[in-house]
Amino acid sequence: MRRYHNTGNFLLSLFVNMLLNLEWSIPAWLLLALHFAFGLSLWWFFGALALWVLRIWAYMMVYRWASSAPPSPPQKNKNPYSRKNSDYTYN
């Protein structure tokens, strides 16, 4: 069986994941609103936005690492009720 390795489109996957996880950026947008309302530093907004992107990137790296593992070798069927293990032939 041929294994497909998709090495490209990392930035496209990151962008799609960012769109799907947009609700995790809400604290950053709240900090931006606090900047305009009370004069809070913009660094808090950029820090929260960077944490959001780094969280998504870290999850993508974990999934990429997990998908690169070799498949497990086939195992013998030990189910006593399985048809393949019985010596009885069905007509």
Residue 33 belongs to some domain of the structure: yes
**Domain span at residue 43?**
26-57
Phi, psi angle pair for 70, to nearest 5°: -70, 150
Residue 11 belongs to some domain of the structure: no
CB 28 within 8 A of CB 22: no
Residue 43 belongs to some domain of the structure: yes
Rounded mean pLDDT, 2-21: 79
Residue 78 belongs to some domain of the structure: no
- Which structure tokens are listed for 48? 């929260």
Q: Could you tell me how far CA 38 lies from the centroid of its own chain? A: 36
Residue 52 belongs to some domain of the structure: yes
User: Which of 15, 9, 51, 83 has its CA nearest to residue 43?
Assistant: 51
Name the pTM for this structure.
Answer: 0.69
Q: Three-state DSSP class for 45?
A: helix
Given pLDDT bands bounded at 50, 70 and 90, which one contains residue 87?
Answer: low
Residue 89 belongs to some domain of the structure: no
Residue 4 belongs to some domain of the structure: no
Rounded mean pLDDT, 79-83: 73
User: Which of 4, 24, 25 has its CA nearest to residue 68?
Assistant: 4
Residue 49 belongs to some domain of the structure: yes
Say yes or no to pLDDT of 85 above 90. no
How many domains, in total, are found in the chain? 1
